[in-house]
Chain A
């Protein structure tokens, strides 16, 4: 009995102090936290962003320019670096349009038609988000590698996928394909099919309906998805690393090149290339904000 009361007492005390502390506060002020709490929360948030985001980003540029702008420029102009930049641009230039087409098709199908297995398709679209990128790369090696399922068939026909640009594009597409579809599905679902039906009833063909009604209605959302998809396509490391084979000047992308240079203790070179990726991130961020602002404005114009 003694033990029980000993345990119970402090608990009830604590509760009653809490109640007492809360009770005298006026109802209207119930939601406003004390000033010190507000400041503390803001300080924690700002501090976290500073240490975890701003500082590393700044250090990238500081390190890149550590030996002066001349070294920086020559590090970027170096042939292997240039070919890595070119490779990244090439992969993105193929993967993003492919995913644009796929994303539009998938979003269209899901938002405007009823069919069996629709929820399964939505789940599958999200799959790349939940799978580790390294696994995504490995899947392609297992399928198309020399000892993979289709390896002998591909070898017999002289087609090489792993350790080539094709492999890089496939892996990048896999990792980035949810971005555009995910952005469009809720937008198209919300808009429904009324406007398309109206267009067709007025005599528009399927293509006219798509280009004059459907596409303009989702244009900003689509751009938003393309932007995110592109950022991820250019920055992807894991999946690409597995299928690339790191052949310098041939199948090296920027993120992979950064790692190679870093491992060779070429810090200026590594950070110079990294600074380009960081710049891409900043541009994406600005673009994202602009698009969000535009979409918000269009949203308030909507029904």
Chain B
């Protein structure tokens, strides 16, 4: 089923959580809503599910307006951030709940329910946990019970609120790959909320980056990471250096460096901000042309080297990520004078 939100506005006690958000999620797509806390991503998810109602705007499932349809009638699978398992029911009873509450005409027989619960527990690899209570399970197991329970009603849409937020790093990685496989096998349309950009980039077909109640950019992980459309997306998608610059007819000047700014062909001495990722900074010998700086600290950061530098002119900090073999060509010790150049940069207007 395809999902569509059209110009959704939502206000809570005078605070505008969503300022006219529109998004289309194609059938079979795995979409991430990514943003910092307070960006409105969870509110949007809850409105899609019918857990909240929007002040204005429309929600459509397969072109059909469901704005007035209640949570109960939208029949989406919803996985809550803290799982919301029924604490007085066993795992099997939790999974069976959605089937047992159906009206008599559509309710499967007890043996049918039993069979489907067994199949679902097998699917989430918890076959032997059926008689346990939620508090006897680990976080990762609870998460899988919550998934099995949501899938029991055979939804075509799965909505997940920070599905891996409360899990430790290792379990999180395993579980998200497993979830991705599950999504593909069951041909679901899924939307999940996260504040972790790595998670969004790894898991989703497309990512919607949100900030302050608006969608900043929607695109494939590659697009939002490599071609951010706004300064916010650039900053949110990873470490970045900011340089004040002046833009003049499609070029921005950072100290002695010239950076391409094709978005501003007619600009005349406009204030701008140049964003440069740490891995797009090259260190050269001090006599070569570039931005003069001094090395302050050198760290080994996983596969590469992270260098903290200070600009000679403005005294501001710059971070650079270098490959391991960079130290062979240059003396990387604190106090060394270097010259910086950029292999990639993006200029935004500061006005």
Which A residues fall within an 8 A CB radius of B?
194-195, 197-205, 208, 212-213, 216-217, 301-303
Contacts and interface: CB of A to CB of B under 8 A. Distances in A.
Contacts of B84: 194-195, 197-198
B225 interface: no
Contacts of A303: 82, 87, 134-135
A205 B101 CA distance: 8
Contacts of B82: 194, 303
B102 A203 contact: yes
Interface in B61-110: 70-72, 75-78, 80, 82, 84-88, 97-98, 101-102
Most buried by A among B78, B86, B135, B150: B86
25 contacts: A194-B82, A195-B84, A197-B71, A197-B78, A197-B80, A198-B80, A198-B84, A199-B86, A201-B77, A201-B78, A201-B150, A202-B98, A202-B152, A202-B153, A203-B72, A203-B102, A204-B101, A205-B72, A205-B101, A208-B101, A212-B97, A216-B88, A302-B135, A303-B134, A303-B135
A194 B85 CA distance: 9
A202 B88 contact: no
B133 interface: yes
Contact of A200 (B72, B85, B86, B150): B72
B65 to A, nearest CB: 20
A204 B97 contact: yes
Interface in B139-190: 149-150, 152-153
A202 B87 contact: no
B51 interface: yes
Interface of B: 49-51, 70-72, 75-78, 80, 82, 84-88, 97-98, 101-102, 133-135, 149-150, 152-153
Contacts, number: 68
Contacts of A301: 87, 133, 135
B97 A199 contact: yes
A201 B101 contact: no
Contact of B101 (A195, A197, A212, A302): A212
Nearest to B133: A301
A181 B305 CA distance: 62
Contacts of A208: 101
A197 B45 CA distance: 14
A194 B80 contact: yes
A52 B133 CA distance: 45
A204 B98 CA distance: 7
Nearest to B87: A302
B75 A203 contact: yes
A195 B78 CA distance: 12
Contacts of B153: 202-203
Most buried by B among A200, A203, A302: A203
A293 to B, nearest CB: 17
10 closest residue pairs by CB, A with B: A202-B98, A194-B84, A198-B84, A204-B101, A201-B78, A216-B88, A208-B101, A301-B135, A200-B71, A195-B84
B87 A198 contact: no
Contact of B88 (A194, A200, A217): A217
A213 B72 contact: no
A213 B86 contact: yes
Contacts of B97: 199, 202, 204, 212
Contacts of B86: 195, 198-199, 212-213
Nearest to A191: B87
Contacts of B85: 195, 198
B131 to A, nearest CB: 14
A105 to B, nearest CB: 22
Given A194-B82, A302-B87, A302-B135, A202 B51 contact: no
A204 B72 contact: yes
Most buried by A among B50, B75, B82, B97: B97
Nearest to B149: A202
A238 to B, nearest CB: 39
Contacts of B102: 203
A61 B85 CA distance: 51
Nearest to B146: A198
Given A194-B80, A195-B85, A198-B78, 10 more contacts: A197-B84, A200-B70, A200-B71, A201-B77, A202-B98, A202-B152, A203-B102, A205-B72, A303-B82, A303-B87
A224 to B, nearest CB: 16
Contacts of B134: 303
Contacts of B133: 301
B11 to A, nearest CB: 14
A203 B70 CA distance: 10
Contacts of A202: 97-98, 101, 149-150, 152-153
Contacts of A216: 88
A165 to B, nearest CB: 38
Contacts of B101: 199, 202-205, 208, 212
Contacts of A201: 49-51, 71-72, 76-78, 150
B26 to A, nearest CB: 23
A198 B76 CA distance: 11
A303 B135 CA distance: 6
Contacts of B77: 201
